[in-house]
Structure 1
Amino acid sequence: MLQKTHSFAGLLAAEGVVLYMQDSPFSWESAAALLIGCLAGPLADIDKQGSTMAKIFFPLSAILRLAKVRHRTMTHSILFLLALGLMFSSLPPLLYWSFLLAYASHPLIDLFNEQGVELCWPVKFKFRLLPKFAAIDTGAVSETLFRYVLALLTLLLPAHYVWYNMISTT
């Protein structure tokens, strides 16, 4: 999947956290959580040379390349997600869960790709959710449609929240 698709998935994950944890989705804390979601969504692609995240975090990306970390392995694994969870556990809960779930959205939607993901890295077994013929190819029309669905959900989720709260307070 492309960086913009992962950004929408991360944003959607962070929106879910904000709406679950916050009284008001219209606060600075909520804005920070949504920004974190947009950035954490594509972050796992730091292991892919030439990706936006590899360019932004070049020193870390270079270290991963020197360590011969292949794409969709370590940075897409459950073990790495747990390590990130420990590393960032001192963040306030809203930001912590927004970061963690947005990051987790990355390997989750990559499971729809033909190439699959080594979720149990260092065990070299790739998981995927769809058979190859139905998989979403990176940059294909199917990914664009998937991204549009994610974008629509990022609009519908807060709209539903506002609508539900308007009805329940009257």
Structure 2
Amino acid sequence: MLQKTHSFAGLLAAEGVVLYLQPSPVSWESAAALLIGCLAGPLADIDKQGSTMAKIFFPLSFLLHLGGIRHRTFTHSFLCLIGLGLLFTSLPPLLYWSFLLAYASHPLIDLLNEQGVELIWPLKLKFRLLPKFMAIGTGSMMETLFRYGLALLTLALPAYYVVHSLPTLPGVLR
């Protein structure tokens, strides 16, 4: 999947956390959580040479490359997710869960790709959710449609929250 698809998935994950944990989703903390979601969504691609994340975090990307970490292996695994979870425990809950769930969205949606993901790295066992003929190819029309679906959900989720948090008026059906 492309970075923009992963950014929308990360944003959607962070929105869910914000709407679940924040009494007021309109705050600086909520904005920070959403920004973290947009950045953490594509972060697992730090292992892919030439990706935006690899360029931004070049020293770490270079170290992964030197260590022989291939794309969709360690940074897409449960081991990495657990490590990041332990590393960032000092963050406030809103930022912690926004980061962790946005990061987790990356390997989750890569499971829809034909290449699969080594979720239990260092075992070289690839997982995917769809058979190859149904899988979503990177940069394909199916990915574009999937990304548009994620974009619509990022609009629908807060709208749903707003509508359902309005006070109920007598005699008005919702």
Given the two structures, how large is their TM-score scaled by the length of structure 2?
Answer: 0.96
Gaps of 5+ in 2: none
1:150 alignment partner in structure 2: 150
Q: Which amino acid aligns with 1:58?
A: F
- Whichever of the two has the greater Rg, that structure is 2
State the distance in 2 between where 1:139 and 1:168 align. 44
1:69 alignment partner in structure 2: 69
Q: Which amino acid aligns with 1:156?
A: A
Q: Does 1:112 align with 2:112?
A: yes
Percentage of pairs with the same residue: 79
Residue 167 of structure 1: how far off its partner (Å):
4.5
Q: Does 1:141 align with 2:138?
A: no
Structure-2 change in CA distance of 1:30 and 1:169 (3 Å)? farther
Q: Which amino acid aligns with 2:40?
A: A
Structure-2 change in CA distance of 1:94 and 1:169 (3 Å)? farther
- Describe the SS at the equivalent of 2:103: helix
1:98 alignment partner in structure 2: 98
The alignment yields a C-alpha RMSD, in angstroms, of 1.0
Residue 169 of structure 1: how far off its partner (Å):
7.7
Residue 104 of structure 1: how far off its partner (Å):
0.1
Residues 40-55 of structure 1 mapped to structure 2, 5 A cutoff: 40-55=40-55
2:8 alignment partner in structure 1: 8
Gaps of 5+ in 1: none
Q: Which amino acid aligns with 1:124?
A: K
Q: Which amino acid aligns with 2:3?
A: Q
Given the two structures, how large is their TM-score scaled by the length of structure 1?
Answer: 0.98
- Describe the SS at the equivalent of 2:68: coil
Work out the number of aligned pairs and report it: 170
Q: Does 1:124 align with 2:133?
A: no
